[in-house]
């Protein structure tokens, strides 16, 4: 892609840059740069991004907290968009137990805010280090609940034609850790229907979840659970990995956590290729020994070889210079 920084800023705004590092924008904190990066503080910027992407035949990737994403060491040959101020508002209507939220709002922040308002049903999200937008797209969940339990609708922007649509929850086709929302659309906001509860009880639940996660899950550079549980509620990925003797496995600068086997840790200054090598090895060994072919929760970005992972979770590196797709 031959577009200089000045041209990018002229077309996309002053908060657009080229060759922008992505590692610090993900919880793995590894990976290369984006060809173009835009922080969209105004909704109107998205239409300009869509036009620019079509003009230069570039893929568009939206990044929130970067907590479920692994960027390749050579980066992403396209446009990375981070939603800013316009997608950061929250309205809590206590009398109706209704929440209207922007996609850039952090899940733990919203969980604490709704609990403080005496609304119950979203406490589970306090331990998920992501944003509303990503949570809707993948139907994030934990502690016996998920987005589908409270989501009533979402506002989507379509990169293909620049249209905005209010979409009913049924049309999102939410499933266990997935939905019908592909790379051609991005979540801008969501509506949640919660229930009236007791504030003290809600906040106590929040603190219990925080305590449990602190005691049972590792900190550091990781993306949370790597693999989807093969049989939700019955067969967990962590147990299978553990039973295959893979806890603590290391390849280069990445390793299976010794605290929770479904977490993969990246070393400071580590390589994405090592992380995906651990993922691939673990998946292969578990499949060979147990017959369970585990699906990854982690979105692979910029990899020319997706290592046989589910294509729906991968965004390949776009080779091809000015005609990159």
Please check the confidence at residue 182 and state whether its pLDDT lies above 70.
yes
Q: Are 174 and 183 in contact (CB under 8 A)?
A: no
Please check the confidence at residue 312 and state whether its pLDDT lies above 50.
no
Please check the confidence at residue 263 and state whether its pLDDT lies above 70.
yes
Question: Residue 325's pLDDT band (boundaries 50, 70, 90)?
Answer: very low
pLDDT of residue 323: 27
Tens digit of each residue's pLDDT (9 = 90 or more) over 34-88: 999 999 999 999 999 999 999 999 999 999 999 999 999 999 999 999 999 999 9
CA-based torsion, 230, 31, 275, 144: positive or negative: negative
Between strands 60-62 and 33-40, the pairing is unpaired
Where do the domains of the chain lie, and which CATH numbers do they carry? Answer: 5-85+319-323 (3.30.43.10), 88-202 (3.30.465.10), 237-296 (3.90.78.10)
Distance between CA atoms of 82 and 104, rounded to whole angstroms? 8
pLDDT of residue 1: 56
pLDDT of residue 321: 32
Question: Residue 306's pLDDT band (boundaries 50, 70, 90)?
Answer: low
Of 14-18, 39-43, 125-129, 256-260, the least confident: 14-18
pLDDT of residue 315: 55
Q: Which residues of 211-228 are buried (b: 16+ CB within 10 A; e: fewer)?
A: eebeeebeeebbbbbbbb
User: Average pLDDT of 192-218?
Assistant: 97
Question: Residue 10's pLDDT band (boundaries 50, 70, 90)?
Answer: confident
Please check the confidence at residue 320 and state whether its pLDDT lies above 60.
no
Question: Residue 233's pLDDT band (boundaries 50, 70, 90)?
Answer: confident
Question: Residue 304's pLDDT band (boundaries 50, 70, 90)?
Answer: confident
Place of tokens 């239409």: 47
pLDDT of residue 317: 45
pLDDT of residue 324: 25
Sequence-separated (6 or more) residues with CB below 8 Å from residue 37? 16, 17, 18, 20, 22, 79, 80, 81, 82
Q: Using a cut of 0.85, tell me whether the model's pTM lies above it.
A: yes
Active site residues per annotation: 177, 225, 297
Cα–Cα distances (Å) from 190 to 112, 147, 157, 291, in that order, read 17, 10, 12, 38
Please check the confidence at residue 258 and state whether its pLDDT lies above 50.
yes
How does the average pLDDT of the chain come out, rounded?
92
Determine what percent of the chain is predicted with pLDDT higher than 70: 93
Burial label for 48, CB within 10 Å (0-12, 13-18, 19+), is: middle
């Amino acid at each position: 892609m031959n577009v200089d920084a000045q041209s990018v800023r002229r077309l996309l705004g002053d908060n657009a840059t080229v060759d922008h590092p992505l590692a610090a924008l993900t919880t793995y904190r590894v990976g290369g740069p984006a060809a173009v990066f835009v922080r969209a503080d105004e909704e109107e910027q998205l239409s300009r991004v869509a036009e620019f992407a079509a003009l230069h035949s570039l893929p568009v990737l939206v990044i929130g907290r970067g907590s479920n994403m692994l960027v390749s060491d050579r980066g992403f040959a396209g446009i990375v968009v981070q939603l800013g101020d316009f997608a950061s508002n929250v309205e809590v209507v206590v009398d109706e137990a209704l929440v209207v939220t922007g996609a850039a709002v952090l899940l733990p922040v919203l969980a604490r805010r709704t609990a403080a308002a005496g609304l119950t049903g979203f406490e589970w999200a306090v331990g998920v280090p992501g944003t509303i937008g990503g949570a809707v797209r993948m139907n994030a969940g934990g502690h016996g609940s998920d987005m589908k339990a409270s989501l009533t609708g979402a506002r989507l922007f379509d990169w293909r034609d620049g249209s905005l649509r209010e979409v009913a929850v049924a049309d999102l086709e939410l499933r266990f850790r997935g939905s019908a929302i592909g790379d051609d659309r991005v979540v801008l906001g969501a509506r949640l229907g919660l229930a009236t509860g007791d504030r003290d009880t809600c906040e106590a639940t929040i603190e219990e979840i925080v305590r449990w996660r602190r005691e049972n899950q590792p900190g550091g550079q990781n993306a949370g659970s790597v693999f989807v549980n093969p049989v939700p509620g019955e067969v967990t990925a962590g147990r299978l990995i553990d039973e295959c003797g893979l806890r603590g496995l290391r390849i280069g600068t990445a390793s299976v956590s010794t605290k929770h086997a479904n977490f993969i840790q990246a070393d400071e200054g580590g390589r994405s290729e090592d992380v995906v090598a651990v993922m691939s090895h673990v998946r292969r060994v578990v499949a060979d020994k147990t017959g369970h072919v585990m699906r990854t929760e982690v979105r692979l970005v910029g990899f020319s070889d997706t290592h046989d992972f589910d294509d729906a979770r991968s965004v390949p590196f776009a080779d091809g210079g000015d005609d990159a797709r």
